[in-house]
Amino acid sequence: MTEMLAGWPLLSITTFLPTAGALWVLAARASLRGDNPGFDQGVRLITLIITIATFIASLFAFAAFDPAAPGYQLVENVPWAFGAAYRMGVDQLAMALILLTTFLTPLCILASWGIKKQVASYMVLFLLLETLMIGVFCAQDIILFYVFFEGGLIPMFILIGVWGGERRVYAAFKFFLYTLLGSLLMLVAIVAMISIAGTSSIEELTAYARNTGFDPNLQIWLWLAFFASFAVKMPMWPVHTWLPDAHVEAPTAASVVLAAILLKMGGYGFLRFSLPMFPDASHFFQPLVFALSVIAIVWASLVAFRQLDMKKLIAYSSVAHMGFVTMGIFAGTMQGIQGAIFQMLSHGVISGALFLCVGVVYDRMHTREIAFYGGLVNRMPVYAAIFLLFTMGNVGLPGTSGFPGEILTMVGTFQVNAWVAAGAALGVIFSAAYALTLYRKVALGVIENPKLDGIGDLDAREWITFIPLVIATLIMGLAPAHVLDFTAPSAEAIAAAFSGVAP
Amino acid sequence: MISPLQDFNASYGHAWPELLLAGFALAAVVLGAWSSERAFGWLSALGVAALVGAGALAISHSPVAPVALFQGAMVVDGVAVFAKALIAFSAAATLIIGADHFLRTRERRFEYPVLIVLSTLGMFVMVSAQDLISLYVGVELQSLASYVLAAWRRDDVRSSEAGLKYFVLSAISSGILLFGASFIYGFTGSIRFDAIGAAVSEGAGGVGLMFGLVLLLCAIGFKMSAAPFHMWTPDVYEGAPTPVTAFFAAAPKVAAVALMARVLYDPFADMRMQWQQVVIALSVISMVWGSFAALLQTNLKRLMAYSSIGNMGFALMGIASGTAQGPSATLIYLALYLPATIGIFALILAMRREGAPAETVGDLAGLAQKRPWMAALFTMLLFSIAGIPPFAGFIGKLLVFRAAVDAGLIWFAVVGGVAAVVAAAYYLRLLASIWFAAPAPQLQSPSGTTMLTATVAAALTFPVLVLLLGLIQDWAETAVRISF
> So what's the pLDDT on residue B7?
81
Structural domain contains residue B153: yes
For residue range B424-434, what is the model confidence (pLDDT) as tens digits?
999 999 999 99
Nearest CA-CA partner of B310 in B293, B297, B327: B293
Cα distances from B92 to residues A184, B32, B52, B247, B248, in angstroms, run 34, 19, 6, 9, 13
> So what's the pLDDT on residue A453?
80
Residue A2 binned pLDDT confidence (cut-offs 50, 70, 90): low
User: Which of B328, B422, B435 has the most A C-beta neighbours within 10 Å, making it the best mutation to test the interface with A?
Assistant: B435
B225: which residues sit within 8 A by CB, 6+ positions away?
B232, B233, B253, B305, B308, B309, B312
> Nearest chain B Cα to A152, which residue?
B389
Mean pLDDT of chain B: 91
Nearest CA-CA partner of B434 in A171, A157, A230: A157
* B398 vs A contacts (CB less than 8 Å): 143, 187, 191
* B389 vs A contacts (CB less than 8 Å): 146-148, 150-151
Per the structure, how many domains does chain B have?
1
> Nearest chain A Cα to B424, which residue?
A177
Structural domain contains residue B9: no
Task: Say if the Cβ atoms of A162 and B402 lie within 8 Å.
Answer: no
d(CA B189, CA A434): 82
* A188 vs B contacts (CB less than 8 Å): 401, 405, 410, 413-414, 416-417
Containing H/E element for B4? helix B4-12
> So what's the pLDDT on residue A232?
87
> So what's the pLDDT on residue A501?
57
Q: Is B330 exposed, middle or buried (0-12, 13-18, 19+ CB in 10 A)?
A: buried
How many CB pairs lie under 8 A apart between chains A and B? 96
Structural domain contains residue B3: no
Task: Say if the Cβ atoms of B435 and A158 lie within 8 Å.
Answer: yes
d(CA B302, CA A264): 40
Structural domain contains residue B8: no
For residue range B72-115, what is the model confidence (pLDDT) as tens digits?
899 999 999 999 999 999 999 999 999 999 998 888 888 999 99
Structural domain contains residue B373: yes
Residue B163 binned pLDDT confidence (cut-offs 50, 70, 90): very high
Residue A213 binned pLDDT confidence (cut-offs 50, 70, 90): confident
User: Which of B434, B436, B464, B466 has the most A C-beta neighbours within 10 Å, making it the best mutation to test the interface with A?
Assistant: B436
* A150 vs B contacts (CB less than 8 Å): 388-389, 394
* B416 vs A contacts (CB less than 8 Å): 188
Indicate whether A503 pLDDT > 50.
no
Taking the CA of residue A218 and the nearest CA in chain B, the distance in Å comes to 11
Taking the CA of residue B456 and the nearest CA in chain A, the distance in Å comes to 17
> So what's the pLDDT on residue B353?
81
Give the pLDDT mean for A309-315.
90
Helix (H), strand (E) counts: chain A: 23, 2
Task: Say if the Cβ atoms of A188 and B410 lie within 8 Å.
Answer: yes
Indicate whether A326 pLDDT > 80.
yes
Structural domain contains residue B7: no
Give Dmax over CA atoms of chain B in angstroms. 73
> So what's the pLDDT on residue A33?
62
Domain boundaries, position B156:
14-483
Taking the CA of residue A38 and the nearest CA in chain B, the distance in Å comes to 19
d(CA A28, CA A47): 12
Task: Say if the Cβ atoms of B473 and A82 lie within 8 Å.
Answer: yes
What are B's interface residues with A at a Cβ cutoff of 8 A?
368-369, 372, 379, 383, 388-390, 394-395, 397-399, 401-402, 405-406, 410, 413-414, 416-418, 420-421, 424-425, 428, 431-432, 435-436, 469-470, 472-473
For the residues of A13-47, what is the DSSP string, one character each?
A: HHHHHHHHHHHHHHHHHHHS-S--TTHHHHHHHHH
What are A's interface residues with B at a Cβ cutoff of 8 A?
29, 79-82, 118, 120-121, 143, 146-148, 150-151, 153-154, 157-158, 161-162, 168-169, 172-173, 176-177, 180-181, 184-185, 187-188, 191-192, 194-195, 221
> So what's the pLDDT on residue A35?
61
Cβ-based neighbour number of residue B398 at 10 Å: 25
The answer to whether residues A471 and A251 touch, using CB atoms and an 8 Å cutoff, is no
The answer to whether residues B327 and B480 touch, using CB atoms and an 8 Å cutoff, is yes
Residue A260 binned pLDDT confidence (cut-offs 50, 70, 90): confident
The verdict on whether omega for the bond into residue A155 sits within 30 degrees of 0, i.e. cis, is no
> So what's the pLDDT on residue A3?
62
d(CA A386, CA A34): 42
For residue A201, report the phi and psi dihedrals to the nearest 5 degrees: -75, 130
* A22 vs B contacts (CB less than 8 Å): none
Cα distances from B179 to residues A489, B213, B267, B297, B348, in angstroms, run 70, 10, 18, 35, 40
Task: Say if the Cβ atoms of A118 and B369 lie within 8 Å.
Answer: yes
For residue range A228-244, what is the model confidence (pLDDT) as tens digits?
999 988 888 888 888 88
Cα distances from A223 to residues A13, A229, A233, A281, B143, in angstroms, run 33, 10, 15, 6, 49
Nearest CA-CA partner of A113 in A379, A463, A470, A381: A463
> So what's the pLDDT on residue B264?
94
The answer to whether residues B236 and B162 touch, using CB atoms and an 8 Å cutoff, is yes
Amino acid, single-letter form, for residue A142:
I
Taking the CA of residue B459 and the nearest CA in chain A, the distance in Å comes to 14
Poorest-confidence range of A5-14, A93-102, A191-200? A5-14
ipTM: 0.92
Containing H/E element for A434? helix A418-443
The answer to whether residues B458 and B377 touch, using CB atoms and an 8 Å cutoff, is yes
Task: Say if the Cβ atoms of B389 and A172 lie within 8 Å.
Answer: no
Give the pLDDT mean for A421-440.
90
Taking the CA of residue B425 and the nearest CA in chain A, the distance in Å comes to 7
Give the pLDDT mean for A286-296.
93
Indicate whether B469 pLDDT > 80.
yes
Amino acid, single-letter form, for residue B217:
L
Task: Say if the Cβ atoms of B417 and A185 lie within 8 Å.
Answer: yes
* B424 vs A contacts (CB less than 8 Å): 176-177, 180
Give the pLDDT mean for B389-398.
91
Task: Say if the Cβ atoms of B389 and A158 lie within 8 Å.
Answer: no
d(CA B255, CA B83): 7
Indicate whether B1 pLDDT > 80.
no
**Percentage of the residues of chain B whose pLDDT score is greater than 90:** 69
Beta strand spans in A45-193 (E): 73-79, 85-90
> So what's the pLDDT on residue B319?
94
Structural domain contains residue B1: no
Better-scored residue on pLDDT, B362 or B216: B216
Residue A18 binned pLDDT confidence (cut-offs 50, 70, 90): very high
Indicate whether A16 pLDDT > 90.
yes
Structural domain contains residue B6: no
